[in-house]
Chain A
Amino acid sequence: GENVEQHPSTLSVQEGDSAVIKCTYSDSASNYFPWYKQELGKGPQLIIDIRSNVGEKKDQRIAVTLNKTAKHFSLHITETQPEDSAVYFCAASKGWGTGNQFYFGTGTSLTVIP
């Protein structure tokens, strides 16, 4: 089955600096890679995703890059703000339809220091 590893587990950055979180996956058939942000006491929220037919996607201060050959993808947050502090999860998925599974990383706790 798929195995998703996520690093680092904790990350502290100064406000305004960039943060990078990296994930690797094992199954080359995985073709969809979402990132979720989870604030304390809430459910995860989708912040950005990328499909295997593109190498990079950007949405304002957030970007995701995908290297299919190396089987890794990364989340980049620029100009970090205190409200970016949360736990971030990466995930990998393959295929479509009923019962399609998502495999999650173990999460990265990001703290942005004002």
Chain B
Amino acid sequence: GAVVSQHPSRVICKSGTSVKIECRSLDFQATTMFWYRQFPKKSLMLMATSNEGSKATYEQGVEKDKFLINHASLTLSTLTVTSAHPEDSSFYICSALSGANVLTFGAGSRLTVL
């Protein structure tokens, strides 16, 4: 089946630094990837839709300059949290859409900003 690799699984950084999270589709090409943020015991909050070769589409309320998304190839999308603050600490999850319209999730990345 489809596999999505997300890295790193955990990251701790200092306030003011930037952190990059990678999302790779390992055995299929994904023209569309999605980035979610999940708070404890809450549902998935869609942050942005990432389309290969074009600018990401951000959901209302998500700062595009803070959460930079790049989808440079059919198998890789990256999320960079710039100038991170403690309130950015969260569980970030990517997903990739296969040609059969099946959505596969990565394992998630736990970001802690000190």
Query: Residues of A with Cβ closer than 8 Å to B?
Result: 32, 34, 36, 41-46, 49, 89, 91, 93, 95-96, 98-102, 104-107, 109
Check B32–A93 contact: CB distance below 8 A.
no
A-B contacts, 8 of them at CB < 8 A, read A32-B101, A34-B103, A43-B105, A44-B44, A44-B105, A46-B105, A99-B32, A109-B41
- Complex CA gap A109/B40 in Å reads 12
- Complex CA gap A12/B113 in Å reads 35
**6 further interface pairs, Cβ-Cβ under 8 Å (given A44-B93, A98-B31):** A32-B101, A43-B6, A99-B57, A100-B101, A101-B46, A104-B44
- Complex CA gap A105/B44 in Å reads 9
Q: Which residues of B97-114 have CB atoms within 8 Å of chain A's CB atoms?
A: 97, 101-108, 110
Residues of A within 8 A of B110 (CB): 41
Report the interface size class on chain B: 20 to 34
| Total contacts A-B at CB 8 Å | 55
- Closest CB of chain A to B97's CB: distance in Å? 6
Q: Do most interface residues of chain B lie in helix, strand or loop, or is the interface mixed?
A: strand
Residues of B within 8 A of A107 (CB): 42-43
Check A101–B49 contact: CB distance below 8 A.
yes
Query: Residues of B with Cβ closer than 8 Å to A?
Result: 4, 6, 31-32, 34, 41-44, 46, 49, 51, 57, 91, 93, 95, 97, 101-108, 110
Residues of B within 8 A of A89 (CB): 43-44
- Closest CB of chain B to A67's CB: distance in Å? 21
Check B103–A105 contact: CB distance below 8 A.
no
Check B107–A104 contact: CB distance below 8 A.
no
- Closest CB of chain B to A95's CB: distance in Å? 8
Check A46–B104 contact: CB distance below 8 A.
yes
User: Given the interface contacts A99-B32, A104-B44, A106-B43, does A41 sit within 8 Å of B108 by beta carbon?
Assistant: yes
- Closest CB of chain B to A26's CB: distance in Å? 17
Check A43–B108 contact: CB distance below 8 A.
yes
Residues of A within 8 A of B31 (CB): 98
Residues of A within 8 A of B95 (CB): 43
